């Protein structure tokens, strides 16, 4: 078993995840309570809130998320490629460009079909 | 690795291949329960991801304990990652298309093929 | 000993969160618990000398996958699904089936594998450069064909998902003319009403099929 830097990363994650709870607990302790109705409304950047928070999202958000995850996968393949590039040489360059080219075809398709248009 | 006749404390303090495989089996079974019982299609997809992850644990654990010098198990895991991302993308697109048609993601309401 | 502590901690987290994913009534909470499962499995990967895979797991599953799942939930809404639970027969059947699978698989993995511990040189390489380089050398020499096929798979997935998910907002023109003829035949809405309807449908506010059916 070899942990490397991961204990520190784990500590960072735990620290970041506990931060909201710590801050809220702190606010509970030090705050002065004088509630009014207006103070208990949801904060929506200064506007009067209306409707429910659980609205139906438009499908275009999903399309962007979809493109995001597919290029996310591409990144996952790019990292080992970059690390091993010294040994792979020209062959490695060609195969990675082929990979990226095929994925770019998908991007071009999405573009042409108007999936990226934010209307 | 488990052997018959070891004391149970040893099983807790010494982690071996068997522990990882058992964890994978446990997660796989939980995912299976979810796959069968859940009625929301999106939850079905989530349980599928859970099962694929359990398989990934298997690959990585075997790779670590049997052949760390050839990382074929981890390469397999990366391919499973790829396939499951593609599967989730298409699966959710199917759910969205179905939801447009019937305004429901309840799996019990799609019984056209039942005959 | 350290390994045991880390292992049991991550096992506890992942199993609890996985049970939450399956049995929580609200699907939003399920999706958020799924992030926890993925992260703790990344921890398990770290214990197995798979540092690159742990990071990949985090950025693909814990970030990417849950984002698309959450957007899927946001599109379909989670209120609709808080309805009546399953029949007890199906619960029982699934429980029996899962227990059977569990016992079967546990019995299988008890098979005594011959285990050679990793050679010290491999561990040394890992400590110096991590597993990423070794992984890359293997992936781009021995596994070239699967790698290129993976790109084809991703392309097909992208095209398929776009075709399935997009339908309303670019093809609204064609669809509306088709639907228009139907509704004129049945003598219901006027052309103006129909075009307004289709504009609304393309924004995702109205579902065409239901309107024309009613």
The token pair at C98 is 């899962």
Q: What is the set of domains in chain B, with CATH numbers?
A: 8-109 (1.10.287.3510)
Compute the distance between CA of residue A19 and CA of residue B1 in angstroms, rounded to an integer.
Answer: 39
Confidence (pLDDT) at C212: 47
C26 phi and psi, to 5 degrees? -90, 125
Is A70 within 8 Å of B89 when comparing Cβ atoms? yes
Name which of A89, B64, A113 is nearest C53 in CA terms. B64
For chain C, say whether A74 makes contact (Cβ under 8 Å): yes
Confidence (pLDDT) at C78: 60
DSSP H helical ranges for B17-40: 17-37
Question: pLDDT digit string (tens) for A52-65?
Answer: 766 777 778 888 88
Confidence (pLDDT) at C154: 93
Query: Model ipTM?
Result: 0.89
Confidence (pLDDT) at C187: 43
Identify any residues that bridge with A44 across adjacent strands, giving them in sequence order.
A47
Question: pLDDT digit string (tens) for A30-87?
Answer: 988 888 887 787 777 777 777 776 677 777 888 888 889 988 999 999 999 998 888 8
Distance from CA of A78 to the nearest CA of B (A): 12
Q: What is the set of domains in chain A, with CATH numbers?
A: 3-112 (1.20.58)
Query: For residues B98 and B59, is the Cβ–Cβ distance under 8 A?
Result: no
Bigger pLDDT: C184 or C8? C8
Which residues, including other chains, have CB under 8 Å from residue C156's CB and lie 6 or more apart? B86
Is C204 within 8 Å of A58 when comparing Cβ atoms? yes
**Which chains would you list as touching B if contact means 3+ CB atom pairs under 8 Å?**
A, C
Q: Chain C 48-87, CB below 8 Å of chain B: which residues?
A: 48-50, 52-53, 56-57, 60-61, 64-65, 68-69, 71-73, 75-76, 80-81, 83, 86
Is A73 within 8 Å of B82 when comparing Cβ atoms? yes
């Amino acid at each position: 078993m070899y942990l490397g830097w991961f204990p520190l990363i784990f500590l960072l994650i735990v620290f970041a995840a506990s931060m909201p709870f710590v801050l809220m607990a702190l606010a509970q302790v030090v705050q002065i309570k004088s509630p009014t109705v207006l103070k208990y409304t949801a904060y929506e950047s200064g506007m009067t809130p209306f409707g429910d928070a659980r609205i139906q999202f438009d499908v275009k958000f999903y399309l962007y998320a979809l493109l995001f995850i597919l290029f996310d996968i591409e990144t996952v393949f790019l990292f080992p490629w970059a690390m091993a590039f010294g040994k792979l040489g020209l062959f490695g360059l060609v195969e990675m460009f082929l990979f990226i080219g095929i994925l770019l075809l998908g991007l071009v398709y999405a573009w042409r079909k108007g999936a990226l248009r934010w209307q | 690795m488990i052997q018959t006749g070891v004391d149970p404390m040893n099983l807790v303090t010494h982690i071996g291949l068997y522990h990882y495989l058992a964890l994978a089996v446990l997660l796989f079974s939980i995912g299976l329960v979810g796959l069968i019982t859940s009625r929301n299609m999106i939850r079905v997809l989530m349980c599928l991801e859970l099962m694929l992850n359990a398989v990934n644990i298997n690959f990585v654990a075997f790779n670590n304990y049997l052949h760390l010098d050839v990382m074929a198990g981890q390469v397999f895991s990366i391919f499973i990652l790829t396939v499951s991302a593609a599967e989730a993308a298409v699966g959710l697109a199917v759910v969205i298309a179905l939801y447009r048609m019937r305004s429901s993601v309840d799996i019990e309401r799609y019984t056209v093929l039942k005959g | 000993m350290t390994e045991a502590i880390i292992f049991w901690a991550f096992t506890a987290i992942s199993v609890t969160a996985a049970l939450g994913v399956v049995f929580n009534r609200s699907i939003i909470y399920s999706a958020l618990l799924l992030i926890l499962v993925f992260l703790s499995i990344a921890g398990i990967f770290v214990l197995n000398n798979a540092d690159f895979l742990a990071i990949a797991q985090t950025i693909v599953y814990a970030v990417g996958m849950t984002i698309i799942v959450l957007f899927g939930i946001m599109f379909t809404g989670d209120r609709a699904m808080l309805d009546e639970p399953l029949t007890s027969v199906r619960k029982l059947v699934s429980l029996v089936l899962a227990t059977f699978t569990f016992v079967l698989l546990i019995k299988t993995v008890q098979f005594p594998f011959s285990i050679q511990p990793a050679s010290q040189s491999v561990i040394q390489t890992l400590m110096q450069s991590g597993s990423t380089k070794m992984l890359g050398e293997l992936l781009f020499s021995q596994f070239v064909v699967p790698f290129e096929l993976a790109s084809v798979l991703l392309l097909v997935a992208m095209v398929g998902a776009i075709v399935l998910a997009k339908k309303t907002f670019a093809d609204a023109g064609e669809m509306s003319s088709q639907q228009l003829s139907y509704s004129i035949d049945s003598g219901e809405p006027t052309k103006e009403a129909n075009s307004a309807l289709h504009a609304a449908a393309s924004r995702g506010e109205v579902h065409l099929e239901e309107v024309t059916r009613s």
